[in-house]
Chain A
Amino acid sequence: MPDPHKKIQQLIASLEEERLHVGRKDLAIGRQRVNAQLYFSIANACLRGRVVLLYGGMGANKTTLINLLGSSFLSMDLDRVEDIMVTGHPEQTEEKIVGFLDPRQWTVTASATGPTQVLWTAWAASNWKLINEINRFPSGKQNLFLEILQKRKISYAGQLCRPGDTCYFATMNPEFSGTYPLDEALRDRISACVPATQPDFLAGLLLSERETDVRDLADQLPRFTSQEFSSLPGIVENKPLAGQVELAILCLIRDFTLCERAPFYDKTQLSQSKPSLGLCSGCHYQNNPEAICWQVDEGLSDRVRQDLRIFCRAFAYLLDRDADLEVLKAIAPYIIWHRTTPMRHALEKPPYFGAGKLAYVARLVENSINRTMNEREEMNRIFSRAVDKEMSTAKAIEELSLFDDPIARLDFIPALEDLP
């Protein structure tokens, strides 16, 4: 079987050469610079059951890019791929999106006694699902996707549609008059959110020189066989993850989630009270720039851990490198920023000016990873030795109590106290 990696590189080169995607190389991973919108979309095509959301203004090549990739990975015409997607608007219904009861089953006497017949839509049956303009679905209708996203089957009227492992994509505009806010639970199911920006000066020049229609150019993109497409998740899964990355991910999640004042020290338990509403007033960690807990309202769910691990592997595969800390530092902000709400007064200061949420979260991520690698070694080793019974629990608790760190105080010490 030919190596799909080579074909992916050809696809990236073709998209750039044919000027089907001309975004800036805005994602730096070590010395390599790539376009985040393109690479996150391709990384998601290498995975199953993950959701990538492209976020940006009109005409930023969000929908077209996903359809072009669908055309290449599924080896289908662009027109056919475009027919598969669903687009958000207030009149969309479950019947139009997923499927509807076949009315013919009640006119034929013989089949009236059999199981209910459902006519599934092309979107439901496909394993390449694009939800276009997801924030144009009213809030109640967004709930439909809570059940569908990241699942391998869809149910309707007691019947099941099994498209198998699926690649999910979504696009959305910033808040306009016709959009609705995305529900927090739905945002948590979105693995990564990537800003899609307008072409810059040079890109605009390149696009104006493009004379051939997108549909014709799409035919020239490399085509993947179904065997190649289905082999990608397995290849990515085999990419080893460095121990540093595993540890940094665990600490990163806990840095965002732990809260001294939340039930079970878990910020995801909060509903009415949160840091922006004064929860942290007078707390020991408040206003300490090294502590992350008070800087964002929400904790992170375990889905974030899974997304961080699998996207690290996917990027390492795409860039043909190790899944190391450089990869994690680069991609983690895109996986976290849409799930969190930073403190308004901190975000409104320069250099963020209330608009640089992704950059703000990137700074938090960088701080957490640097702290784990440079300053948490001693406490992490004490905890691990106690867990592995290489030192007494009481002594470990005594030593850990000297560390002014939320993870040591709220996570390690209670865990050791619970050890038999």
Chain B
Amino acid sequence: MKLSSLMDSAYLKKGPGRRLKTREGDMIFSLEDLADRVGNKPSRDAVKELIPEDRTQVDLLISTDPGKRYALIWGYLTSLAAERSTAPLVLPSRDYVGLELRRGTIILAEARDHVGEKMSGGRIVVQGKAGDYLGQEMQGGRIIARGCRDYAFRNMRDGFGVVLGDAGKFLGLGNSGGRIAVRGSCKERAGWLMRSGSLNVLGDAGEYLGLLMSGGRIRVKGIAGRRAGWRKKGGSIAAGGFGPEAAIDVIELE
């Protein structure tokens, strides 16, 4: 039997029916509703597909406290809202603000952890200090913060990160691109495992600056702590001064 005959008998020889309309028509009233549909650790596309077009509804979702459970979903919502907004979006201080942001501007009075994670475009301005993992896995865009704690701009691939004050430990860990500028000082192990990109520090740097780095450029105008460039395989480090046991090929700035 021809397969078309089976289809004709099944669909009673009607013309083509309507197309699949996946996930249409269901209202999302809360973060819990959204999580029911996409899970607690969804992809950006999954969240994007379900969030309502209505601005007030999105604002309502953003205004609710996500707790730890829905933090990722909330983070995606902030990015999607910022992308739709024509004016800069002012948001409360919570984790994952601007997660995978692609365009638009977000302004934060203070920031908590994971702000601007995986962003590939747009701008985030933190008027106060940021928490851990600021701009982690950034692929583009720019972040400006008054200060930050540990692991800022970790695994950065592209984009521009500016810290107007001091940065914590492990700044630019594992970077393979992008630019980081720190007006104050940074703590130990900045540029650890760095492969590419640049890191500029106006103040001092902690010990083990550029530990195991294999590429990229580090400039410290102040003094770098002990063992700068320890077991370094490539790239360049230049600083105003070095503590003991610095690598042979580090350059002292005049």
A residues within 8 Å of B by Cβ? 242-244, 246-248, 281-282, 286-290, 371, 373-381, 383-385, 387-388, 390, 403-405
Neighbouring B residues of A375 by C-beta, 8 Å: 17-21
Q: Is B6 an interface residue (CB 8 A)?
A: yes
* Count, A-B residue pairs, CB within 8 A: 77
Our pick among B9, B20, B37 for the contact of A243 (Cβ within 8 Å) is B9
Assess the A377–B4 pair: CB atoms within 8 A. no
Q: Is B248 an interface residue (CB 8 A)?
A: no
Q: Is B3 an interface residue (CB 8 A)?
A: yes
Assess the B23–A290 pair: CB atoms within 8 A. yes
Neighbouring A residues of B7 by C-beta, 8 Å: 247, 377, 380-381, 384
From B14, B19, B23, B37, residue with most partner A Cβ within 10 Å: B19
- What distance in Å separates the Cβ of A129 from its nearest Cβ neighbour in chain B? 36
Assess the A384–B20 pair: CB atoms within 8 A. no
Assess the B20–A287 pair: CB atoms within 8 A. no
- What distance in Å separates the Cβ of A220 from its nearest Cβ neighbour in chain B? 45
Assess the B6–A290 pair: CB atoms within 8 A. no
Q: Is B29 an interface residue (CB 8 A)?
A: no
Q: Complex Cα distance A381/B23, Å?
A: 23
How many residues from B make CB contacts under 8 Å with A?
A: 26
- Output the nearest chain A residue to B42 by Cβ-Cβ distance: A287
Assess the A287–B3 pair: CB atoms within 8 A. no
Q: Complex Cα distance A247/B11, Å?
A: 10
Q: Is B68 an interface residue (CB 8 A)?
A: no
Neighbouring A residues of B37 by C-beta, 8 Å: 287-289
Assess the A246–B3 pair: CB atoms within 8 A. no
- Output the nearest chain B residue to A291 by Cβ-Cβ distance: B22
Q: Is B250 an interface residue (CB 8 A)?
A: no
Neighbouring B residues of A374 by C-beta, 8 Å: 17-18
Neighbouring A residues of B38 by C-beta, 8 Å: 287
Assess the B10–A246 pair: CB atoms within 8 A. yes
Q: Is B36 an interface residue (CB 8 A)?
A: yes
Q: Is B41 an interface residue (CB 8 A)?
A: yes
- What distance in Å separates the Cβ of A275 from its nearest Cβ neighbour in chain B? 12
Assess the B43–A288 pair: CB atoms within 8 A. no
Assess the A247–B6 pair: CB atoms within 8 A. yes
- Output the nearest chain A residue to B23 by Cβ-Cβ distance: A288
- Output the nearest chain B residue to A245 by Cβ-Cβ distance: B10
Neighbouring A residues of B43 by C-beta, 8 Å: 282
- What distance in Å separates the Cβ of A391 from its nearest Cβ neighbour in chain B? 10
Assess the A377–B41 pair: CB atoms within 8 A. no
- Output the nearest chain A residue to B9 by Cβ-Cβ distance: A243
Assess the B10–A243 pair: CB atoms within 8 A. yes
Q: Is B16 an interface residue (CB 8 A)?
A: yes
- Output the nearest chain A residue to B40 by Cβ-Cβ distance: A287
Assess the A287–B6 pair: CB atoms within 8 A. no
Assess the A287–B10 pair: CB atoms within 8 A. no
- What distance in Å separates the Cβ of B140 from its nearest Cβ neighbour in chain A? 23
Q: Complex Cα distance A374/B16, Å?
A: 10
Q: Complex Cα distance A384/B42, Å?
A: 35
Show 14 residue pairs from A and B whose CB-CB distance is below 8 angstroms, ordered by the A residue. A281-B41, A282-B41, A287-B46, A289-B37, A373-B11, A374-B17, A375-B18, A377-B7, A377-B14, A378-B17, A380-B7, A381-B7, A384-B2, A388-B4
